Structure 1
Amino acid sequence: MGVPIGDLNNTKSITVTHKKSHMKLQFIDAENLFGPMTLKACVKDYGDKTVHKDVFPYEIINSKNWNEVLMKTEPFEYENFKSSLKEGYSITKDEQDQYLIDFKRFANRLEYHKYYNINDTEIMVKPLMNLIDTFEQFNIDVLHYISIASCAYATKHYSTYFASKFNLQSDKQTYYSDFDINADYSNPNPNAKPFILTAGYWKNKCYHYKQQDYKAGRETGKNVTADDYDYYKRLFETSVCSICSAKFTYDNPPSLDRQDNELPHTKDNCLPACVSYNIAHANRDPKIASLHIKMRQYAIKHNLPMTLSDERIYNYFENVLQEDLQRMYMAGRSRFYSEKPYVIKNCTDQRKDIFVAKVKGYFPKSEYNNLLPLLPIFRNIQIENKEEVIGEYMYSQAQKHSLPMTKKDRKLTTLVDTNGQYTVFNNYYLWLLIDLGFVITDYKSVAVFEKNTAYETFVRTMMNLRIQAILAGSSKEKFYKLIINASYGYDTLNTV
């Protein structure tokens, strides 16, 4: 489809604004909606199966010979489609036969070339219309979003909160239909442990408060510091949230809410507040803040998905995404985080909770033969280019071709141990490894989550629609697969 605008991780678009009418026209890379693929593949997979992408031998034309070449009345020969870029022919024999049939409608090559250019644009219309129609049935307007991932994300959450509208066969309630801003949705966990401020946690908070004030251009000389630890430890233990009057627990950790948003985080300017409610409060109008707080309480009461509020778990997941191959899709709200080995061991042994755990371990040599078809531990690690590491053959080949051997290379590889490093596994994969003979040698930490089936309607509906499309021979089958896959990447880190 040409050179992408940005990439799939950093989606970009170009907006053109008319000077007089101020009408805006936005150009979005088609790859953001269909994924990385050629135009030919896109038309085949998502368009009308009766339509095909035409062919043209670009490389035989230049600025000097174009008139002579294009004014000829005979079609291009198969040899004209030889491509130096592809080191072969750019079309197949079948495509050549189709080209010869299509060419009969035109007086010369120039007329065919005009048709080719127009058709190269028009054939994208059908895939786009199919995409729009696919999402329209879920009340999602594709043109309001910039990528297939954001469309899938919206569909997933629409199906979660408005299940009965999303799927007419669903007997689930429509969440928020009974929402009342004046109602009390507070539902404190009676088993939640009181929050106890640690020196490390407080030092980290002070650092971020100072960074926040510095970036905002506020004076930081009188900011709270790590030396105020004892004062705030007692304050958090004896006070309640200044916004919602809730007690501070590990489910509901504290933060500092600035009373005057023009001033920095000082003792005189801050009151204790729940992290989640402080975020909702921010610089917003009090009524808007109240709405956000009530909606969060409602979501907690009905066990709906929401963003992470525990900074430790957020950082935990952030490191996983940066260092490890795995991606964690936890559907429920976080229950607790622990670094106590016996707690982690209980989670892995009892097999009741949904969690992610950071552990070290290995497979005994007695299991090697059983694991040979596929070593089960995937790691993206740095490897030294030494003979004893990469093997005699690879080492000799690298030397033969004068490849640099001094630097380390990051390689995706499969192992029979965690390479002496702590590795994060979700509960299901860790249980599988244990069943295969994996021995845990050390426990680092665990984050445990509530069980949640909020996305069940979304997944079941998409799978059923995909099956129906496959049976009907419809190209929409590809869309439903794309929607399911895309929905698991858009909000992996923030929403659990």
Structure 2
Amino acid sequence: MYQCDTAIEDRVNSVAEGLSLLQGSQNLRLSAQRENEKQEIKTIDILVVESIYEGNKISHAFAIANKQALTGLKFCPHCNSKAFDPKDKNYSRDYVKHIIKCENNEGKIVKKVKLDYIQKPFVPHIMQNKTYQYLLANGRQHEFKPTQYFITHDLETVPKIINKKFGKSSYQMYELFPLSVASTIRNKQGIKKIFFSQQDGDDFIVQWLNQLFKEAEQVNADNQYITEACTIDETIPYSMEVPIVGFNSSRFDISLIIQQMQCKDWTISNYIGSPTQAKQVIVHHKKLNLKVKFVDMLTYLQHMELKQAAKDFGDGYDDKKGLFPYEAFNTDNVNEVLSKSEPFTMEDFNSSLKKTKISQKDYQIYLEDAKRFKNRWDYLQFYNEQDTYIMIKPLMTLISLQFKYKIDMFSFMSMAACSNAIKYAKAYENFDINGVYPNFEDQSQKFYLTENYWQSKVRGYQLQDKHQRRDTTNNVQDQDFGYFKQLFKDSNCSICGCKFTVNNKPTLDRIDNSKGHSKNNVQPCCLYCNCFCSNKDKNISKLFIQLRKYCKIRCLPTNLTDIDVYHLIRSGITGGLSNVMHRVNRAGIDFIKRLYYNKEAKKVTVLTTDHRITHVVGVDFNSLYPSVMSSETHKFIKYTNGKMYMCGSQTGKIIGDNDHSKQTILRIINSNKRFTADGQLFVAEVKGHIQEDYLNDYINFPPILRNYEFTTDEKTIGSYMYNHMKDNKIKTDQKQRKLTNLSSTMGEYMAFSSYYLWFLIDDCHFIIDDVRQIVLFNKHDQFNSFIKEFTKNRIEAKLDENKGQEQFFKIVMNSSYGSDGMNTEKYHKVKIMNKKQTERAIRSNAFMDEQQITEDSYIVQMNPEHCSCKTPLQVAFFVLDNAKYWYLNFTYNFMYKCLDMNRIHFIEGDTDSAYWGISGNPNEDFTQQFNAVVNDRDFYNDNAKYFFPTIKGNVYDEKKILGLAIERQGVAMYALAPKNYMIETNYCANSKIKLKGVNQKTNKITKEQIVDCINDGKITKCVNLRLGQKNHKMSQLSIEKTGITDIHTKAIVLENQGCCSYIFGLTAKDYSYA
């Protein structure tokens, strides 16, 4: 059932097209608003049912007068999607409870975040691998080994011609069906290949899966830990599923075989991802009691072709990956074509998907291979098996590289997770479980037991013991309050010896775990020790107690436990800048522009100087995120003794709810200790602005890089861009929230890390108007060894021309911060449900999508109302904010100090790069960099070495931490919008066009099209050809989208192509050019 605007009834059929319906109908909500009006408009309910006619699904739509009368269900009046059965005994309770919550949340799902109640060391390399955890706890870590035996797989497909239009101008060209499947098994005995195809029958996928489980039994046995008696060591916990590895399988292969993964013999026990991307699927064989895990090799790499992966991560060769003409046949003639004995022709290899043709050299290679086979079916088997075989060496390389740091790759879902684990493994590399670590000094107030706290604990102990069926006759009682108040006051934790404080609260630990919480069977201990000691292995308990002490001594990160701090940090996490300030920059034609703010008139004018542009220069920071978490000493860091420390654990919080607390917060922020090693790290939520008298010093590149919510109306974005959007039928008057350059917090409270806020105050004349709160963190430099080692390894791999290892060390460094910011708030949950469960799920407002895979099995995607966060979110916040600080620090404390900024303007910038228009020496070519605009030569000569490479040919200097390099230079740059630009050079091969979301291999974009877009407002449409799901079927799609657009709303774009940042209190009419 659908709810839609009466004005769009004629579009119902296209809306309904492709929707999978359960029992002939599905509840879905389609709401509409008029383009320029805020009021709600009339809606109607639509019932969509499907029928089969001549083998084709046909959707029918009916207008429904009363959906409650039709379904017999009661719908929530606020979200219009949650349905209740009035016949249910709990109907009244559930309905009232839901509508109260739904009304408060304005019909939207507002997730409730669950945090751990105690701070725990973040040690993913230990916590996420129970095997290593056990071995480390028992002093047997030398026995740890990686999961090194696995199975690879690959599917080949046959297309069915569809040529069906959807949307305005997009097409489903083919639907793809499995043609063959191959696997290579790596076990102790060596390598084995298996292959099945349509020649083996229509159920060849089931045959393959059946054989796969048989092979997986041996692989599983080979991965086990074995005793000297050659039996499985049952004392070591090892329960890793057998890895079944594909290449790009999460988006492709899995969707083709998902239906066969659910049957009477085996079932999907866990599905992570979405219906269109299965990141990990665990299948459990019921009879064998064996689990296999389907994963994608690309999750452990950056995006690349299989041939390149085999070459870079194998032995330097691609192992002669075969060639196959995927489009030379279809479902109508596949057997006829593949039964032929003659080789395919060159024309057969033409690809409409990739817009490529086979080279004469490659075709000759194919002909030599084809000679060895009786027919094309046999060649298909060779090709299919070869694709699975050439995955083996790269996977072994990746496993080996990660195991050096005690990381079992298949224990983690992605390279980002592995990288994060490596980072923390390096931070804890000096940890010794038998080390003598003193108890940490907790600076919070001493804990005093209150009656309410004690009563809640008594009730908890009672429930806990009853649940475990322990005798509660002599359990502690409310009247024991006085005794335990004095006990907690006089005692320390009986396990770790730490004092009880507000941040280290006490509880009672049972001495004999088989008995209840009686007065003579309990001892005082802290919550942390109780969490890791209750009913657990004593050595495991010791491990985590020692880890906590080590973590506290080294000030390493722990998880957040304060929900308000979580929301502050989570909402304050913003990615890297991507913005455009000047759109047209042609050498010899255009001039440097400067923005000027008139304080009296409250107006901004874009002035064109007399300095003609000679060239453009782009700089790129060396591994920016790893650099800023390296805690490497640098001359241009004037805080905390010359290096950026990373935050550890939260140590305090002050709410600015009165004058005294506000002054305390300001004293912490402005403390002179910030220039010493004792500087306090924090996240402060403040409201402020750059002092108006100094605004012109910063208006050309405003230093506050924060999300700003605005409306794309003419008053805000200006008439030039507003009319352009109108002319091209692009929605206006919409709310947008984008990261951009600002000169104030726009009247809002915004959160800043310590280094960024100190920079704004000390170097940008930032005035704090008000403070709301400050969260304090301790600090550490324990990521330094990780960054230095991997930077060194990357450079050595580059010098050795080992592309695989060079990529590995680069990927690990650059992705190592991401998992710190991971939580499940934005994640959807995918479950396998039967028909009745799916019916109930559809009635929930958490329901998103479903896909039938068998007669009684559905993949159901839900948006759960609860989420959790077990990671140190604050680390991601500091990395991102420190990156912004370093980007701005280079700009204002190096460039502005020694370059003539009247002859330079900022063109475009991304997270770790910045492009500048330069008015240099007209008699030199475009490779002159900044040489002609240096106005303080002594400062430049003394300090350029701290950023730029100055030793010619020295890769160590070129890739130094906290350094940067010239990325690209040219004679012109057209920057239409963020991530949409062209850099033109005199050398055509080095020119670069970047267009977000456009496949430039299949769309030939020209300079003329980009120029026409700016001059005439002409938006160019592109067609992306790709493989993807349509109606839950893997297909080849032709999707039309906007390719070249100059829609830029992160700033006010003027007709002279200058872009002005938003200033609080000004409207678009206050901006002009001269």
Normalised by the length of structure 1, the TM-score is 0.72
2:367 corresponds in structure 1 to: 104
* 2:772 pairs with one of 444, 458, 463: 444
Amino acid at match of 1:19: K
Structure 2 match to 1:254: 505
Q: Aligned residue for 1:280?
A: 532
Instruction: Name 2:556's counterpart in structure 1.
Output: 305
Give the residue type in structure 1 aligned to 2:355.
Answer: S
Match of residue 62, structure 1, among 314, 330, 351: 330
Q: Percent identity?
A: 28
Give yes or no for contact 1:236–1:248 (8 Å, CA) kept in 2.
Answer: no
Which letter does structure 1 place at the counterpart of 2:813?
I
How far does the alpha carbon of each residue in 1:383-423 deviate from its partner, in whole angstroms, 9 at most, with x for none? 32322233334433444455555653343433332233222
Answering whether residue 594 of structure 2 is matched by residue 344 of structure 1, we say no
Q: For the residues of structure 1 that align with 2:287 and 2:540, how far apart are their CA atoms?
A: 36
| Contact 2:509-2:522 at 8 Å conserved across structures | yes
Q: Give yes or no for the alignment of 1:320 onto 2:569.
A: yes
Aligned equivalent of 1:474: 802
Equivalent pairs counted in the alignment come to 451
AA aligned to 2:662 is P
Contiguous gaps of at least 5 residues in structure 1: 84-88, 163-173, 219-230
The structure with the largest alpha-carbon Rg is 2
Give, in whole Å, the separation in 2 of the partners of 1:422 and 1:249.
32
Contact residue 681 and residue 754 of structure 2 kept, 8 A? yes
Output aligned runs, 1:46-445, within 5 Å.
46-51=313-318, 55-70=323-338, 71=340, 73-77=343-347, 80-83=350-353, 89-91=354-356, 96-105=359-368, 106-107=370-371, 112-162=379-429, 174-176=430-432, 178-179=434-435, 185-189=437-441, 192-195=443-446, 238=489, 243=494, 246-249=498-501, 252-254=503-505, 274-281=526-533, 284=536, 289=541, 292-301=544-553, 303=554, 305-308=556-559, 311-312=561-562, 315-325=564-574, 330-339=646-655, 340-349=661-670, 350=672, 351=674, 352-364=679-691, 366-368=694-696, 370-373=698-701, 376-379=704-707, 381-405=708-732, 408-434=735-761, 435-445=763-773
Distance 1:395 1:412, change over 3 A: same
CA shift digits 1:143-171 (9 cap, x unpaired): 44433234333333333333xxxxxxxxx
Query: What CA distance in whole angstroms lies between the structure 1 residues aligned with 2:360 and 2:706?
Result: 47
Structure 1 distance, partners of 2:737, 2:404, is 44
**C-alpha displacement of 1:135:** 1.9
- What is the root-mean-square deviation in Å for CA atoms of aligned residues? 4.8
Q: Which amino acid aligns with 1:27?
A: F
Alpha-carbon separation, structure 2, partners of 1:421 and 1:235: 47
1:490 equivalent to 2:819? Answer yes
In structure 2, the CA distance between the partners of 1:424 and 1:44, relative to structure 1 (3 Å rule), is farther
What corresponds to 2:902 in structure 1?
none
SS in 1 for 2:350: helix
Give the secondary-structure state (helix, strand or coil) at the position aligned to 1:450: strand
Give a deviation string over 1:304-344, Cα, whole Å, max 9, x none: 52524x633x6424542345315997443433332333343
SS at match of 1:175: coil
Task: Name the counterpart of 2:788.
Answer: 460
Q: Which amino acid aligns with 2:648?
A: G
Cα distance, 1:376 vs structure 2: 4.1
SS of 2:751 mapped into structure 1: strand
Contact persistence 2:493–2:499 (CA under 8 A): no
Structure 1 position 273, deviation (Å): 5.7
User: For the residues of structure 1 that align with 2:283 and 2:793, how far apart are their CA atoms?
Assistant: 34
Local SS of the residue matching 1:50: coil
**Using a 3 Å threshold, how does the CA distance of structure 1 residues 45 and 338 change in structure 2: closer, same or farther?**
farther
**Aligned 8 A contact 1:54 1:99 in 2:** no
Shift, 1:479, TM fit:
0.6
Q: Distance in 1 between matches of 2:539 and 2:682?
A: 36
- Aligned-pair CA distance for 1:81: 1.8
The answer to which of 282-291 and 115-124 deviates more is: 282-291
Please tell me whether the aligned partners of residues 364 and 437 of structure 1 are also in contact (alpha carbons under 8 angstroms). Answer: yes
- How far apart, CA to CA, are the structure 2 residues paired with 1:124 and 1:41? 11
> Could you say if the C-alpha distance between residues 115 and 370 of structure 1 is closer, same or farther in structure 2, counting changes exceeding 3 Å?
farther
SS of aligned partner of 1:12: strand
Amino acid at match of 1:378: R
Measure, in 2, the Cα distance between the counterparts of 1:73 and 1:292.
64
Shift of 1:465: 0.8
How far apart, CA to CA, are the structure 2 residues paired with 1:361 and 1:41? 51
Contact (CA 8 Å) 1:256, 1:270: kept in 2 or not?
no
> If each structure's strand is expressed as a fraction of its own residues, which one has the higher value?
2
The code of the aligned residue for 2:362 comes to Y
Secondary structure at 1:64 match in 2 = coil
The residue identity in structure 2 corresponding to 1:140 is I
Shift of 1:364: 4.3
Conservation of the 8 A alpha-carbon contact between 1:331 and 1:454: no
